[in-house]
Amino acid sequence: MKIQAQWIEEWKKNLEPAMTEFLLSQELIEKDAPLSNKRFLARSIIPHVKKYQELFNRKGELAPDKNYWKKISDSPHFLTAYFLAYMPANLVRVASVLGELERLGFQFSTQSARVLELGAGPASAAAGWCEVSRLSPDFIPKTDTIALVEKDRKALELGAEWIRHITARSPYAPSVQTFHRTIDWARGLLPKTAPEFDVILTSYFLNESTESTEYIAEKLFYLLDDHLSPEGIWIGVEPALKAESRKLLEIRKHLIARILKTKSKLKILLPCLGHQSCGALEKAGDWCHEEVTWWRPPYLKAIDEMASIDRKSLPYSYLVIAKSDRERSKILPKTSHPKIARLVSPTHTEGSDLEFHLCDQTGKRKARWKTDNEIGRGDLISIQNERGDQTSRRIDKASVI
């Protein structure tokens, strides 16, 4: 997925200074220990980052010490480490999804928005929304309220202050409301008396539930059906690990079944352009994820080097769902082409062709295209002429959207 170049340039100049100013104001770092101070990072930040890596290991499973977060939440550097190491990347992931919506012609129907982030932590998803609002004010409507729901009080308070900090200079600084509560899946993700929201955000939220994918889909369905306003959207970003990506695809499958059964107005928008069955679920070893190229603040490069993390690009899995009476092609007008498909793999050269995997309304399959276009994972193409069968196709004529 490509993110707007002007956003990257703006973040290069301003994100690290904004974070430094904020952490100083919260007395979470000292003036003599700037973010670029490797001694400070090595002593106060890296031990916690490595613990996080153990807690959420590469297999996508919780490490044995599941209570690590709770046990050391009183550490003076615990939240600082989490904020520094993970907030910018998760902010950019959510911003990139919003950027894809903007690129495909999505328009918000409201002039002022109520935004909710569930399982907010330090509010990285809400921060992504606020940053896109600042950088693309013609796309994002004025934000009236940002509601944050989080079980850890200190993370919740930090996230609320971070949102207030980055929106302080906005002419329409939103009201930030905090709700300190643990998500009880049995009782529902929100109380029935909760209001509707124009935007609901979740970031690395569903992967923390141990419930079945069908159960999660049921609760998520009621959250969106009951608490999304007409023409509202949900953006859910999850890990790109195989287990977590397949989990999200299973949730999508169960959501679609419930949407069709109840004739709900909910519609899958992205990354799948419709309610087709998922080709990535056909094989047990397959999965689907996105990847966005970004820059890393200098201090984050140092953290990655010391903690042996590779974040030159940001992989993630995601879903976007709208609540609307309109057809998907009307909601995303640039996807109204009769035959549109998304690249769901990197490309490689085979002779004079590019070979890759595509996914569309008929599922996922291998394809070849002789083209000079620079294309990659996440790109959309409109196909005018093709040959082949259900396993492989030859594209004779197409254009990049």
Per-residue pLDDT of 34-84, as tens digits, reads 788 889 899 989 998 988 877 665 444 444 445 555 555 556 688 899 999
- Convert 306-325 to b/e letters by CB count within 10 Å (16 or more is b): ebebebeebebbbbbbbbbe
At 169, the pLDDT band (50, 70, 90 cuts) reads confident
The predicted structure's pLDDT at residue 58: 46
At 136, the pLDDT band (50, 70, 90 cuts) reads very high
- Interatomic CA distance for residues 59 and 49, integer angstroms: 17
The per-residue pLDDT for range 78-92, each reduced to its tens digit, is 889 999 999 999 999
- Contact (CB, 8 A) for 388 and 373: no
- Contact (CB, 8 A) for 254 and 218: yes
- Interatomic CA distance for residues 271 and 95, integer angstroms: 15
∠ CA 147-92-326 to the nearest 5 degrees?
Answer: 65
∠ CA 103-343-109 to the nearest 5 degrees?
Answer: 25
Higher pLDDT, 350 or 129: 129
At 337, the pLDDT band (50, 70, 90 cuts) reads confident
The predicted structure's pLDDT at residue 74: 56
Higher pLDDT, 293 or 126: 126
What six digits make up the tokens of 128?
């992504």
Domains and CATH numbers, the chain: 5-334 (3.40.50.150), 337-400 (2.40.50.140)
DSSP state of 279: G
The predicted structure's pLDDT at residue 56: 64
- Interatomic CA distance for residues 281 and 279, integer angstroms: 5
Higher pLDDT, 363 or 251: 251
| Closest among 364, 196, 370, 345 to 276, alpha carbons compared | 364
- Contact (CB, 8 A) for 175 and 147: no
Q: pTM for this one?
A: 0.93
